[in-house]
Structure 1
């Protein structure tokens, strides 16, 4: 026979307290005898037959505690909270093995248990006054308790012993040293517990299976009320879940959820194997309860919770995404914006690139750039005062805008960037044209981000987020917050740009400055020369009544100037820029510069300089003469410049035609003809006109009037019949029509003290083009006929109104005396309109004859 085994790790006793057995003791475990060699005190040994020892797997590893059948004087108590449940992972170790329980009872009976040993709690829980004798102790480490088998005398039942021990525990409140908040509890085992050492660990849920008491019989499925009455005394039940009625799984079962794991352990160990009789609801043959722990499987708990709570999850995810975006991407975007402002990654500012460029200058010629520089130099000499004025403003502290207004081709951008800001490093140029012309929110966001170097930008996420927001609104009834409006997206871009501009400005600050103790805002106010410059080009390009792009840029520019972060310069062609900018800075006076056409003297010098920038490699005697000196037709230049005016684009066009071999008269004639064709196509013809804010009759009125007089009174134009009573719905407002034609550059409106005063041609060359158009007899007759036709319709409409009112007055039963003046007024107005119509009909007849006879 094999000797009893001891394991390396035995958590049931503290090391050093394991007593030597000097005598043998019979353990009545109801199993076969085993020969065990015992040591006597004198060193000799002897063999004696003892019962086989119990382990945590039950007596003889059968999984059960044996109580002889028919025994009335024996019972089993289960004590809870003797061992900590948090160390159950130790039981998974492969070297754990079976524990030898042979010394526990001897220690218990001989008072050799340390007060730190868990079994000492059992000794304290059963006082001497209880008429019971402990015959066996079987710890259950993974369940945190122990089975205690006891014997009681006749006349005392096991239930009475249980009551005495339970009452004692309530009075004494015995608590283990490792858990001072929970006391030891005990209950009488009424079933036949199954002692297994499988890798099954306690949980709050137990599975109760209903099995027959013997093979061939049928078990009854207990109701929830019956289960509650059986298990409630072991602890509070959180839920009782019966097997689905359509389930075919056998044996039938039910799930019981306890409020705590300790309570489910007590119920499992005390009730397992109990037989429920017919009277208690167990059926005719009775029903046995087989209990096991059931782990609550929540593999999809998180997913189910997320799906079932969209009102909480979707806004939380949106907030998390926004937080991550701000925390991770905003510093990166600010870095790239700073790099664009201070040109950190600009190749042209690299020293190595500059050296190679200087070395290659002798080999390669950059003729075009040289021509531009030389020719523009003549213009900058005439505008030196404006350049100095802008540079002076940039050195001053003034929280307002600098606005440079002028028609297209007046050289605004070159004046500011190439002259006024020459040599200044921290300059950010924002072109509004690609931003305003972008189609769709995503394209607009990308264009704005590219203008300031804002990257990475996920413009495609805007459309994707809109779809998510739409789906969330249809699901939960409210928007998720994923998608953002164009206004919010542009606000983020400009906000990051403002942060980068402020950092660039503060980079000039040094610790050893005399004003280093000032706050950042105060330091920026004291040092305006250190602020970067923001140039906003093409402001109000294709201006509309309401534009998010221009509104956000104006608000952002106002923030930069009022916070002393940067100087802001607006370059615009629109004369009504003050309406838009005044919304952002209503209490400021702007610093304005109006760039008009250059003077004839400067214009002539510009053309000649442009011609002289070309060199010829010839061996003729005229080699020493400049190209302008070699030409014999420049006497015509003065007359041609008077026709073209001082618009830079037209003058450059003239110079290039002169280089091609044309005479000044030929070149100007072709320029005028080309301009006339553009006017005819863009403003006068009705073919493919699209959405115009003016009618061809109104445009022709201005062309014809300006051909006679170079300047028209603004109010005179508004009071004309064509503008005051237009039949076109899109051209009903005369002021809107004039503003639209000014934006389209057919005309230019001059102001006086803030009010519109006069109307002139949009470009000087247009004045000659207007005259050329009016000299075309067929075109003039066609357009005059359209104007007279519209005027006739207007007067006819007025006559209809007068006739309607006269009919109403004539229908009165008695003609009052007071109606007489009104009738006379309507009759005179009707007669005047009729006279006009008759005169226009005669003119229309002449015009129709011209159209029939002429080509």
Structure 2
């Protein structure tokens, strides 16, 4: 038996593993390592390895990218020689000028010399195996190396593979960087492609089926054939064939291994292999390439491809961020508005300057108004004291102050009942209700309570995003919120701020310090802030969302003892809206009407005395009685004007200009008549009205004759019960709309509407003035009579139709007779009315023809 000489392997004889001068490497040549050639020396004695000094790189022999095995030669691939996870170092531009192999050799020479990467190849090939190593090609990216060897004729490369594999199984070699996995080896059966491209290993391999020559056609290998070819290299997770409908050439399949090193071994050993079994007559060449299983933009693509999960999650994150960041800021600004922290008029320095410069900066009109209102507050002293008493009680209910416009509700609350009280909040419903669109409504509500920052414009953008998402994924994204939800957030933040302001008065040394917050607030009603809601139910006919949210929120404030709530309203039907929020509570009500004639006269005289006393240049103060002889007419004029504060103040200002009381009243009446004509009687721009001009004129004409009208009697008239205008067909809705527009005032008795009066006392005189205009009266009476005639004509047509139906019966039964007589009497009565109205219409037309 021939004795095989032991092969000694010296890694330092390989030029690539020597300590050499640093060489520059660019990004495109990532993974470059010099190729080492080994051959046997000719010296006597034991053979040794010498380096073959020829230049070669990973681009293969003669830069072809391939290595070939001649007869009696073979190639083994050893894996797990280099740390696979460190291939990312090749991507770093700041890694230095040394190659990765130089760095590993330096590190291993200093600490772990026996575990140098390529020295483990020598240990893996025992001296008993008859082979001669001719070349070693390290593959840093693949974490292994190709070992090219030659053998004698008596043994095949396949047998040598079995010997090496069996030796590694019996004598496992484990590298220092992976002590739990041994080195494996396998015979290269294909034609490996040694590329130095920017490609890195993965568990998925793309297997392309190529013909053996250009003129031939490749056969697509089945999954069974692929399994039999690749299973020897490791466990396969999945084999995916190309779709039969795909037109991509060459045909391909995907083989997914359980481990990346299994895929590396298969790729380096099987690339370029010609499959005879299942590959057709000429066979099929398989070309292998790593397929990235994780795409470069996988996060972005996952987000784009899963909108049903991503969009609601983003909406939740945005909402969470908004609550965590902006809510404390908003609560701070609301608290500042409640306790007037930024109000300059409450500043001490401002008050001092104001007291020093009172004579310079105080205007006459403000003094006159203060003096005039003083007379009214004396008359309403009981109401003021009642309000102050309610604010000191623990009862959790509303306080409703109802009265017509100009009755001084707001001034009564802030200048008298809440005078000197710091923690107050005024919410004006008028700008909130009159805002156009949801964004404007949200902005107005936020301004009223000091809620900032508010991004009302985002509501429109989020609505568009929500609409687009609903059209794309079929469900709402959750970005946009309804007006109800947005207002709920504003009121909720306001309630939080109100509670914090109320609890600021709590001290640690109090007797009831052990009480809970709610119990302490209930025991100390004097510490609760006061919320005044002005213009409640303003334009209530348009929408009730705003008022429903406000009333529900106010109910929560009162029941939780957070704040006192006072509603200021002009609408007499406020109980309908508030009863929804507190159905089991009785409201505390205060009705403010017009002031009495005596107080009204005192109010006007006080205005004049204050003004003329300031304008007097003589040291002696002259009163209005001494300077104006015509003040004796005040009693008659005030009786016409009534006790409405706005009209009385307007009257006093006219008197200051030098007009006589009668002249001033005449101009006020004339101006009111013009307003009534423009707002209620003219037919121009009728859009949005809930009444017809005929119905408004009927009330004007009737109230000019009688100051009080029966509510139900008005509803029974044909003008209200059978109006031809679609928007004015419901009589009660018409009267409520006219009451909200202040043409009339509806008085109640035990909760039910009883009487109808003029909206303002001066309107009574304006109604009479309008009725004195014969041309106007004839024109509007003509419109009413024309409408009544049409109504009766419809009734006549209805009666005639029923009579024709009864007359068409073949035999007249006896029971039909009373019905026929009833219809005939109705027909005759209607005809009589029509004839009478026609005569009146003729007379009215004659007036319109002859009069200007």
| Short-chain TM bin | 0.7 to 0.9
Q: Hey, what's the Cα distance between the residues in 2 that align with 1:693 and 1:245?
A: 69
- Tell whether 2:596 aligns with 1:587: no
The answer for the alignment partner of 1:81 in structure 2 is 80
Q: How far did 1:351 drift?
A: 2.8
Q: What is the correspondence of 1:132-281 to structure 2 with a 5 Å cutoff?
A: 140-147=139-146, 157-163=156-162, 166=165, 179=178, 184-191=183-190, 201-205=200-204, 223-225=220-222, 230-235=229-234, 236=236, 238-239=239-240, 258-259=256-257, 260-272=259-271, 274=272, 276=274, 281=279
- Tell whether 2:731 aligns with 1:711: no
**TM-score, normalised by the number of residues in structure 2:** 0.83
- Tell whether 2:493 aligns with 1:493: no
- Tell whether 2:443 aligns with 1:442: no
**Secondary structure class of the residue paired with 2:687:** coil
Cα offsets for 1:795-832 (capped at 9, x unmatched): 33323222222222222222222222222222222233
Q: What is the correspondence of 1:289-438 to structure 2 with a 5 Å cutoff?
A: 298-438=295-435
Kept in 2, the 8 Å contact 1:56–1:139? The answer is: no
**Secondary structure class of the residue paired with 1:756:** strand
Q: How far did 1:370 drift?
A: 1.9
The answer for the alignment partner of 2:9 in structure 1 is none
- Tell whether 2:819 aligns with 1:817: no
List gaps (5 residues or longer) in structure 2. 1-11, 21-35
Q: How far did 1:62 drift?
A: 8.7
- Tell whether 2:702 aligns with 1:701: no
The answer for the alignment partner of 1:45 in structure 2 is none
Cα offsets for 1:234-272 (capped at 9, x unmatched): 342655679999889xxx796855433212211233235
Classify 1:83/1:817 alpha carbon distance in 2 versus 1 (closer, same or farther; 3 Å). Answer: same
Classify 1:98/1:731 alpha carbon distance in 2 versus 1 (closer, same or farther; 3 Å). Answer: closer
Q: How far did 1:432 drift?
A: 1.2
Q: Hey, what's the Cα distance between the residues in 2 that align with 1:752 and 1:292?
A: 94
- Tell whether 2:38 aligns with 1:29: yes
Cα offsets for 1:339-377 (capped at 9, x unmatched): 222222222223333333333324333322222211111
Classify 1:482/1:61 alpha carbon distance in 2 versus 1 (closer, same or farther; 3 Å). Answer: same
Q: Hey, what's the Cα distance between the residues in 2 that align with 1:394 and 1:230?
A: 92
**Secondary structure class of the residue paired with 1:29:** strand
The answer for the alignment partner of 2:644 in structure 1 is 647
Classify 1:374/1:256 alpha carbon distance in 2 versus 1 (closer, same or farther; 3 Å). Answer: same
Classify 1:681/1:663 alpha carbon distance in 2 versus 1 (closer, same or farther; 3 Å). Answer: same
Q: How far did 1:156 drift?
A: 5.2
Kept in 2, the 8 Å contact 1:706–1:760? The answer is: yes
Q: What is the correspondence of 1:680-691 to structure 2 with a 5 Å cutoff?
A: 680-691=677-688
Kept in 2, the 8 Å contact 1:7–1:99? The answer is: no
Q: How far did 1:479 drift?
A: 3.1
Moved more, 484-493 or 177-186: 177-186
Classify 1:721/1:622 alpha carbon distance in 2 versus 1 (closer, same or farther; 3 Å). Answer: farther
The answer for the alignment partner of 1:783 in structure 2 is 780
Q: Hey, what's the Cα distance between the residues in 2 that align with 1:385 and 1:730?
A: 44
The answer for the alignment partner of 1:565 in structure 2 is 562
Kept in 2, the 8 Å contact 1:491–1:552? The answer is: yes
Q: How far did 1:608 drift?
A: 0.9
List gaps (5 residues or longer) in structure 1. 10-26, 36-47
Q: Hey, what's the Cα distance between the residues in 2 that align with 1:525 and 1:103?
A: 82
**Secondary structure class of the residue paired with 2:360:** coil
The answer for the alignment partner of 2:96 in structure 1 is 94
Classify 1:323/1:66 alpha carbon distance in 2 versus 1 (closer, same or farther; 3 Å). Answer: closer
Cα offsets for 1:455-479 (capped at 9, x unmatched): 2222222222333333333333333
Q: How far did 1:650 drift?
A: 0.6
The answer for the alignment partner of 1:12 in structure 2 is none
Q: Hey, what's the Cα distance between the residues in 1 that align with 2:664 and 2:519?
A: 58
Q: Hey, what's the Cα distance between the residues in 2 that align with 1:99 and 1:115?
A: 16
The answer for the alignment partner of 1:70 in structure 2 is 71
The answer for the alignment partner of 1:24 in structure 2 is none
Kept in 1, the 8 Å contact 2:397–2:587? The answer is: yes
Q: Hey, what's the Cα distance between the residues in 2 that align with 1:707 and 1:276?
A: 113
**Secondary structure class of the residue paired with 1:363:** helix
- Tell whether 2:462 aligns with 1:465: yes
Q: Hey, what's the Cα distance between the residues in 1 that align with 2:246 and 2:833?
A: 98
**TM-score, normalised by the number of residues in structure 1:** 0.83
Classify 1:667/1:332 alpha carbon distance in 2 versus 1 (closer, same or farther; 3 Å). Answer: same
Q: CA RMSD in A?
A: 4.4
Q: Hey, what's the Cα distance between the residues in 1 that align with 2:117 and 2:481?
A: 64
Q: Hey, what's the Cα distance between the residues in 2 that align with 1:584 and 1:505?
A: 23
Classify 1:853/1:221 alpha carbon distance in 2 versus 1 (closer, same or farther; 3 Å). Answer: same
Classify 1:167/1:330 alpha carbon distance in 2 versus 1 (closer, same or farther; 3 Å). Answer: farther
Kept in 2, the 8 Å contact 1:208–1:290? The answer is: yes
Q: How far did 1:708 drift?
A: 2.3
**Secondary structure class of the residue paired with 1:537:** strand
The answer for the alignment partner of 2:502 in structure 1 is 505
Q: Hey, what's the Cα distance between the residues in 2 that align with 1:326 and 1:134?
A: 75
Classify 1:837/1:697 alpha carbon distance in 2 versus 1 (closer, same or farther; 3 Å). Answer: same
**Secondary structure class of the residue paired with 2:832:** helix
Q: Hey, what's the Cα distance between the residues in 2 that align with 1:336 and 1:460?
A: 20
Q: How far did 1:319 drift?
A: 3.0
Kept in 1, the 8 Å contact 2:124–2:168? The answer is: yes
The answer for the alignment partner of 1:20 in structure 2 is none
Moved more, 704-713 or 757-766: 704-713
Kept in 2, the 8 Å contact 1:658–1:667? The answer is: yes
Q: Hey, what's the Cα distance between the residues in 1 that align with 2:390 and 2:396?
A: 11
Q: Hey, what's the Cα distance between the residues in 1 that align with 2:678 and 2:58?
A: 107
Kept in 2, the 8 Å contact 1:125–1:174? The answer is: yes
Q: Hey, what's the Cα distance between the residues in 2 that align with 1:322 and 1:566?
A: 28
Kept in 2, the 8 Å contact 1:400–1:590? The answer is: yes
Q: How far did 1:275 drift?
A: 5.5
Classify 1:499/1:56 alpha carbon distance in 2 versus 1 (closer, same or farther; 3 Å). Answer: farther
**Secondary structure class of the residue paired with 1:564:** coil
Q: What is the correspondence of 1:794-833 to structure 2 with a 5 Å cutoff?
A: 794-833=791-830
Q: How far did 1:450 drift?
A: 1.8
Classify 1:54/1:291 alpha carbon distance in 2 versus 1 (closer, same or farther; 3 Å). Answer: farther
Cα offsets for 1:666-717 (capped at 9, x unmatched): 2112212222222233222333333322222222222222222221221122
Q: How far did 1:754 drift?
A: 0.7
Q: Hey, what's the Cα distance between the residues in 1 that align with 2:85 and 2:784?
A: 99
Classify 1:218/1:800 alpha carbon distance in 2 versus 1 (closer, same or farther; 3 Å). Answer: closer
Kept in 1, the 8 Å contact 2:41–2:49? The answer is: no
Q: What is the correspondence of 1:568-647 to structure 2 with a 5 Å cutoff?
A: 568-615=565-612, 623-647=620-644
**Secondary structure class of the residue paired with 2:39:** coil
Kept in 1, the 8 Å contact 2:221–2:279? The answer is: no
Classify 1:570/1:154 alpha carbon distance in 2 versus 1 (closer, same or farther; 3 Å). Answer: same
Q: Hey, what's the Cα distance between the residues in 2 that align with 1:100 and 1:459?
A: 64
Q: How far did 1:500 drift?
A: 2.3
Q: Hey, what's the Cα distance between the residues in 1 that align with 2:459 and 2:133?
A: 78
Q: Hey, what's the Cα distance between the residues in 2 that align with 1:212 and 1:257?
A: 20
Kept in 2, the 8 Å contact 1:211–1:287? The answer is: yes
- Tell whether 2:675 aligns with 1:666: no
**Secondary structure class of the residue paired with 2:38:** coil
Cα offsets for 1:496-522 (capped at 9, x unmatched): 222222222233333333333333333
Kept in 2, the 8 Å contact 1:505–1:524? The answer is: yes
The answer for the alignment partner of 1:21 in structure 2 is none
